[in-house]
Amino acid sequence: MLTTLLTVFLLNSTYAQDENGETNKKLYKKIEFYDLRGTNAADMAIGTALITGDFPQPELGIYFRLGYKRHVTEHFGISLTFNRYNLAFDETFHEGFMSFDLNLEYLINPYHNISPFIYGGYGYNADTSFETTAAKAQGGLGIEFIVLEKFGVKLFGEYNYVFSDESNPIIQAESNIGFIRMGLGLNFYFGGNKRKQKLLDSIETIINSNLIK
C-alpha cells in the first residue's frame, strides 16, 4: 500500500513538473517576441506602383508610405497607413494619388528574426486634390528581417482594387481599376515592457511554487 502511494505521488509530481516545464517554455517563447519586437511599430516605406488592366504602356510610379501598427497578439497586428503614389501609362497620363489603409496583419514567425507576413483590409483612395475619391480593398505579403533589436527591415508587395465609377479620370470605359505597390520598408518597434514583465512574473511564480513543493 505504501509503495503504491509513493508511486502515485512521484507520478503526480513528475507530471506537474513536466506541465510546468512546458508552460515555462511557452512563456519564454512569448518573451522572445518582446526581445525582438514590441507591441507598437512606426512604419515607413518607399517603392513603386504600377497600374494593372487594359491600359497601354503602363509605367512605374514612385510610392511611399508612413504608418502605425499595434500588435494585439504576437501573431496579429492592426495597422493604419498613409500612402502616396503615382500611376502612369501611355506616356500621356501621370497622376498622383493617396490612400488611407486599415489592415489586419498576420506575422507567421513572431518569435524569430526572420518572419513572413500577410495582410489585408480596406482603404480610402483619392487623388491629391480630393476631387475623386473611392473605397478600395487591398491584400499583400512580405518578409521582415530583424537586423537589430526593435528594428526591422521588410520587403513587401500588395494588390489594390479600387471600387469607383466613370467619374474617375483613369477609369475610361472600365468601372474598377487595380494596381500593384511594392516597397522596401522599416519597422521601428516600441512598447511591450509591461507585457514582458507580466510573463517574467508568471515564470517566477511557477518556479517558486515548484520550490515550495
Cα-Cα-Cα-Cα dihedral sign, residues 200, 201, 205, 208: positive
pLDDT at 3 over 70: no
Strand pairing report for 76-89 and 114-127: unpaired
The position carrying cell 500611376 is: 87
The pTM for the full model equals: 0.80
> Are residues 126 and 99 in contact, defined by beta-carbon separation less than 8 angstroms?
yes
Closest of 119, 137, 123, 136 to residue 187, by C-alpha: 119
> What distance in Å separates the CA atoms of residue 23 and residue 42, rounded to the nearest whole number?
32
> What distance in Å separates the CA atoms of residue 65 and residue 94, rounded to the nearest whole number?
19
pLDDT (tens digit per residue) in 84-139? 999 988 877 888 999 999 999 999 999 999 999 999 999 999 988 888 888 999 99
> What distance in Å separates the CA atoms of residue 112 and residue 62, rounded to the nearest whole number?
32
> What distance in Å separates the CA atoms of residue 201 and residue 196, rounded to the nearest whole number?
9
> Are residues 104 and 118 in contact, defined by beta-carbon separation less than 8 angstroms?
no
